Structure 1
Amino acid sequence: MVLPDPKSYSDINSSSVIPAISHEMMNAYLLACAKSYDKATELLYKEKYLLCLRSSSQQNQNFIKGRCSAEYCKATMYTVDVALDSTRIKDQCECGAGAGPTAHCKHVSHRLLLVRLLQATGNLHGEAADLPPS
């Protein structure tokens, strides 16, 4: 996956404008990878495994980069990259299941859950239960 210059990224917070991603596109992507927002994804969110979340826009693509702790050992960290355009999602993660461009690990599901939560509520610290139905 070709990523933008790391200097082009900025932190995502509650006041950030993030790329518009349809819920249908995220759910279709997860379904194609046989994934969903499952208990493992929600655990990463609730237990605050997210270390940082940043975004960058280049031409017609938006990029979201995040770092999170591994579930089995919080000292181990993975970088997750998600590239979005109006029709598709590409991603990669440093974990064993995360080889791109169609990673199917819980870390990617976690990033998509966070983007969806921020879009739906304007808040990264809400509850996954606050999300509207898919």
Structure 2
Amino acid sequence: MEITVNIKTSIEEAIRIVNEDSNFILYSESSIVGEKRFGYIYFIYCFVKEKEGEIVYIGKSKGHLLKERLKNHFQKKHPKTGSKLAIIQNEIAKGNKLKLKLLKVTPESFRNTLEEELISHFRPLWNVQK
């Protein structure tokens, strides 16, 4: 027996949401609230001068760890994470603005698959393997 799962519709909907020119948030600890029962995919956009923002990184987190995961990227790096703190600090020093989008994923177990598909589609600079 075989079962084929078609996730194409979910991926297309996620791409549509990510491409919208709205729903950006600026990082601050108080602006991030993760709900335990959800998974999250987060998108870091870099706005160079007044140009349109570009997705530079896609990551994932369990809901209750979302705030800590983003803190590792924007404030302090835990030695065991793949944090982008140094890159983020460099972009800010250049005067670029960084903004986020959060995508709540249900079921949480679908988060890994969706993240991989979105990275494959958008090929963000900070995700691409060298």
Q: TM-score scaled by structure 2? A: 0.29
Structure label with greater radius of gyration: 2
- Greater per-residue helix proportion: 2
Q: Higher relative contact order by CA 8 Å / sep ≥ 6: 1 or 2? A: 2
